[in-house]
Amino acid sequence: MTASLSSTALASASSANLSPSSPMSSPVTALVERLSDEIRSGVLPPGTLLPTHRKLAAQYGIAIASATKVYAKLRDLGLVVGEVGRGTFVRDRPMQREWDVDDEARLSASAVDLSFNHPSWPEQSELLRATLRELTTAGDLSALMHQQPPGGRRHERETVATYLRQARGIDAPAEQVFLVGGAQQGLDVVVRTALRAGDGVVVDALTYPGFRMTASLAGLALRPIACGSRGPDLDAVEAACRQRAVRAIYTMPTLHNPLGWVLSAAQRARLVAIARRYDCLIVEDATYAYLANDAPPPIVTLAPERTFYVSSVSKSMATGLRFGYVIAPAGHAGQIKRVIRATYWSLPSLVTTIATRWMASGEFRRREQCQIESAKQRQAMARKVLRGMDVVAHPSSLFLWLPLPEGLRMDQVASALAVRGIAVSKAQAYATTRHAPHALRLGLSSMADAQVEPVLTEVRDVIERMPW
């Protein structure tokens, strides 16, 4: 049920005069600040229906055109969403204080979240609404209330297999494709399927925090490998496999998180050769791979007999659509199905129905292309704003890596940014070594377009004003 802003709440909100916060502030700016504070503090919770432009204008004694500007500014800040024919609603944003302290960043109730990538696009709500309408009138709706078989229904696994063949060049049979609740759950399932406590796993010295945490819970022995500007030190990978028992290699060959590299065809071939020489499994994390559409073929196409391929739609469609997939080597398909059954059994039928409909209709591929173009524009803007700083990023990535000037500590900079209402990820979340470099990872997709330049300018300002 949609909440609405009651007349009592309106009266309370406007009981004090709407006075500008400074002599130079306009009534529009003052009202934007007031409503922003109420949204961020939870006084106006997610889903609240705000007054019409006319009612807002009458309540605060401003022109209707000014009320329109207020909602436009709140929309640019990512705090509200306008829906034609329904009104303006407070956006359902994950309040950062709800996250556990062990997540990628130590978060507070920040106004701008650069610590995670939450893709948002104008047609997102309408696409979901239209799909839900279609589901109410098509087929056997009660089937969505039934439990799925572990790993997903056959026709939906076929849909994913077709999508992977067309969009990724991966020719995997549906029997080896398993549906999971996002890439993080996919990694957990792979670890439970193929690895045991004490097994050695080669990882990059800077790697995805989700895998690092999963490995820690499973008691795996991580073997960190030094990172270069274009990928891991493959000589060091081979030395690690030769000198110690290594059961698997965890890799992000296509758009590494957080360093943004894309391994060349020669690097991939050598990595596969090492894995075969020392009989290692490969876990290929392709969560961000769609952003680099000119990359060499995935590693799973080079070594299907030993590669687990894991990906999801969280970074292209929506983080709340917990839908991912794992391609398992033929020899592990039976075990991975047993692990899925013993842990979470299956995804909700509604989620898999929505996701596979969008895959089959081409909506995923259209959205991916839009995200690529958006990422390119944001990276170009970031390069402009951060010119002269040591930015590390792929030109179509949704994030960038920012090593700090010598003498600055990442915790000090992150704390200073938090005071300004900006949440960032610190390098220590990505480090698999004892000591982490002093650097920040900045996600670019959770901001509105209008926020990118001013927010990154503020990041630069904070860094340059920090005492060394």
Domains of the chain (ranges plus CATH)? 27-90 (1.10.10.10), 112-123+365-465 (3.90.1150.10), 141-362 (3.40.640.10)
pLDDT for position 86: 77
- Provide the percentage of residues in the chain whose pLDDT is more than 90: 69
Name the least confident of 5-14, 116-125, 212-221. Answer: 5-14
Specify the 3-state DSSP secondary structure of 167: helix
Mean of the per-residue pLDDT values for the chain?
89
Is 234's pLDDT higher than 90? Answer: yes
Q: Please name every residue paired with 251 in a beta bridge, in sequence order, or none if there are none.
A: 284
Is 7's pLDDT higher than 60? Answer: no
Report the phi/psi class of residue 76: left, alpha or beta, with left for phi > 0 and alpha for psi in -120 to 50: alpha
Is 190's pLDDT higher than 90? Answer: yes
Residue 106: pLDDT band with limits 50, 70, 90:
very low
Is 20's pLDDT higher than 80? Answer: no
Is 10's pLDDT higher than 60? Answer: no
Q: Where are the beta strands (DSSP E) in 195-253?
A: 200-204, 221-225, 248-251
Is 24's pLDDT higher than 50? Answer: no
More confident residue, 114 or 111: 114
Residue 104 contacts residue 115 (beta carbons within 8 Å): yes
- Tell me the Cα Rg of the chain: 24
Q: pLDDT digits over 118-151, tens only?
A: 887 778 888 999 999 999 887 778 888 888 999 9
pLDDT for position 229: 85
pLDDT for position 12: 42
> Which of 348, 336, 38, 296 lies closest to 186 in space, CA to CA?
336
Q: Rounded distance, CA 159 to CA 361, Å?
A: 10
Q: pLDDT digits over 283-310, tens only?
A: 999 999 999 989 999 999 999 999 999 9
Residue 282: pLDDT band with limits 50, 70, 90:
very high
Residue 346 contacts residue 150 (beta carbons within 8 Å): yes
CA distances from 370 to 129, 263, 291, 313, 364 (A): 20, 24, 10, 14, 10
Residue 96: pLDDT band with limits 50, 70, 90:
very low
Q: Please name every residue paired with 376 in a beta bridge, in sequence order, or none if there are none.
A: none
Q: Rounded distance, CA 71 to CA 52, Å?
A: 10
More confident residue, 259 or 94: 259
Q: Please, which residues have CB within 8 angstroms of residue 218's CB and are 6 or more apart in sequence? A: 191, 192, 195, 197
Q: pLDDT digits over 332-350, tens only?
A: 999 999 999 999 999 999 9
Is 100's pLDDT higher than 70? Answer: no
- The DSSP string of 260-290 is --B--HHHHHHHHHHHHHTT-EEEEE-TTGG
Adjacency order of strands within the sheet including 439-443: 399-403, 439-443, 425-426
Q: Please name every residue paired with 179 in a beta bridge, in sequence order, or none if there are none.
A: 325
Residue 5: pLDDT band with limits 50, 70, 90:
low
Report how far Cα 194 is from the mean position of its chain's Cα atoms. Answer: 26
Handedness of CA 122, 123, 129, 132 (dihedral sign): negative
Is 324's pLDDT higher than 80? Answer: yes
Residue 18: pLDDT band with limits 50, 70, 90:
low
Token readout for 38 is 């109420």
Average pLDDT over residues 371-377: 94
Q: Rounded distance, CA 321 to CA 352, Å?
A: 9
CA distances from 212 to 257, 411, 429, 459 (A): 12, 20, 9, 27
> Which of 252, 246, 257, 311 lies closest to 281 in space, CA to CA?
246
Name the least confident of 78-82, 363-367, 375-379, 402-406. Answer: 78-82
Average pLDDT over residues 319-323: 91
Q: Please name every residue paired with 83 in a beta bridge, in sequence order, or none if there are none.
A: 87
Is 219's pLDDT higher than 80? Answer: yes
pLDDT for position 1: 44
Q: What is the largest CA-CA distance in the chain?
A: 76
The alpha-helical segments, DSSP class H, found in 77-109 are none
Is 424's pLDDT higher than 80? Answer: yes
More confident residue, 385 or 316: 385
Average pLDDT over residues 241-261: 96
Which contiguous run of DSSP H or E holds residue 334?
Answer: helix 333-343
